[in-house]
Every structure is written in structure tokens, then in C-alpha cells.
Amino acid sequence: MSHGPSAAGGAIIKGGHGAHEPHEPVFVGATKARLDDLLTRYPTKQAALLPALWMLQEARGWVSEAGMAEVAQVLDLTPAYVQGVVTFYTMYHQHPVGKFFIQVCTTSPCHVCGAEDVVKAFLQQTGCGELGVTSDDGRYTVIEVECLGACGFATPVMINSDFLESITPESVPEVLKRYG
Ligand code: FES
């Protein structure tokens, strides 16, 4: 069961990794060329909003207000419209998060198989200490999430876009060695 921040939007800012840095435009050079190419495959600029936001998050690690404004400008949308979409979807980070964003399923089937102990192991061994808090070194943020669709492989964990199955408290140190 989830007891803490369960989506990126709920991540707690500690140390403000990147939170106070001025926004450098993302859609320039090669990234602008990628977006332009993408736009040829969509009927309208608005239809490309989700992938454009992914590109922003990929480049900056999160989606800031200034980033939303930039996306709005390149897609001829209003910042309010973009913000509405960003706040609807939990996969967009509305605060800076660690370089490695760790999502642990704690829904009932995984919970009864010991997911809470996996969460505890990640919190201790990453130095995060608490759900949604980024470690002091800026490397990790751990959150609990609902069913990841791998209920037969408790405990499933996502680290950025990698999907890991059958994680136990004992295997956490080995996993973290791959994400140092
Ligand atoms: S309940 Fe954990 S993956 Fe489905």
C-alpha cells in the first residue's frame, strides 16, 4: 500500500537540485530539429505536446514552469494549457528529482510479498531516508507507486526507464551498484 509520495509531482525538494537554476532553452539546435521532425508526424502542433514534454524532461530532468512556457511557445499553446496537461499526468516531474528516479510497487499483491522492506532498503541505502526526498548527492529519489503490471514478480521496481523484477531487500545493494 502507498503511504507517501506516490507520484513524481509529490516529490519533496531537498537541497533544490536544479530548482533555482535559470531555464536554458531546450528546443534549440539538435533538439529543435528533433521536435521539427516529430511535428511532421502529428496533425497539429498541440498533438505533439506529450512527446515535447518528454523531450524537456529528458533534457532537464524535470518540468519547470519556465520549461512549460518554452513548450507552450514552440507549440503555439498557452502556458496554462501546458500546465494543465503536466499536472494531469504523474509521469512528469514537477520538481527536481534525483538522477535515478526509483519507483517501487507497493500495491497489495506486492505489499504482501514484502515490498515495504524493499522500499526501506532503498531509502536506507540511497541515503534518501524518506519517500519523495532526493538524496543529498542528488543521485536518488525513491517513491512508492501503484501496480506496475508485474504482480507475479514481486517486487517490481522502475529506475528511470529500466524495469526490474523480483527485487528483494538483499538484492538492493547489487541493483544500486548499477545506478551509481
Ligand atoms: S501489485 Fe505490484 S506489480 Fe501489480
Q: What is the pLDDT of residues 152-173, one digit of tens each?
A: 999 999 999 999 999 999 999 9
- Strand ranges of the sheet holding 140-145, from the earlier edge strand across to the other edge: 140-145, 100-105, 157-159, 162-164
For residue 103, how far is its CA from the centre of ligand 1 (angstroms)? 12
Residue-wise pLDDT for 20-35, tens only, equals 678 899 999 999 999 9
Atom of ligand 1 lying closest to residue 107 CA:
1
Name the amino acid, one letter, at 52. Answer: A
- Look at residue 108 and tell me whether its pLDDT is greater than 50: yes
Q: Report d(CA 164, CA 132) in Å as an integer.
A: 20
Distances (CA, A) of 35 to 6, 14, 39, 50, 80: 30, 32, 6, 12, 21
CB 172, CB 166: distance < 8 Å: no
List ligand 1's pocket residues with C-beta within 6 A: 105, 107, 109-110, 147-151, 156
Q: How confident is residue 18, by pLDDT bands cut at 50, 70 and 90?
A: low
Mutating to test ligand 1, I would choose from 1, 110, 144 the residue with most ligand atoms within 8 A of its C-beta, which is 110
Predicted pLDDT of residue 8: 44
Mean model confidence pLDDT for the chain = 91
| Segment (H or E) for 143 | strand 140-145
* Residue 37: HSE in the Cβ half-sphere, 13 Å Cα cutoff: 7
Distance, C-alpha 46 to centroid of its chain:
23
- Look at residue 2 and tell me whether its pLDDT is greater than 50: no
Predicted pLDDT of residue 118: 98
Cell of 106: 507497493
Higher pLDDT, 23 or 121: 121
- φ, ψ for residue 104 (rounded to 5)? -115, 125
Helical pair 79-88 and 65-74, crossing angle rounded to 10 deg = 120
- Look at residue 14 and tell me whether its pLDDT is greater than 80: no
Q: What is the mean pLDDT of residues 44-53?
A: 98
| Segment (H or E) for 140 | strand 140-145
Q: How confident is residue 90, by pLDDT bands cut at 50, 70 and 90?
A: confident
Q: What is the mean pLDDT of residues 95-120?
A: 97
Predicted pLDDT of residue 51: 97
Q: What is the mean pLDDT of residues 77-84?
A: 98
Cell of 30: 539538435
SS3 at position 133: strand
Q: Report d(CA 127, CA 136) in Å as an integer.
A: 7
Q: How confident is residue 94, by pLDDT bands cut at 50, 70 and 90?
A: very high
Query: What is this structure's pTM?
Result: 0.79
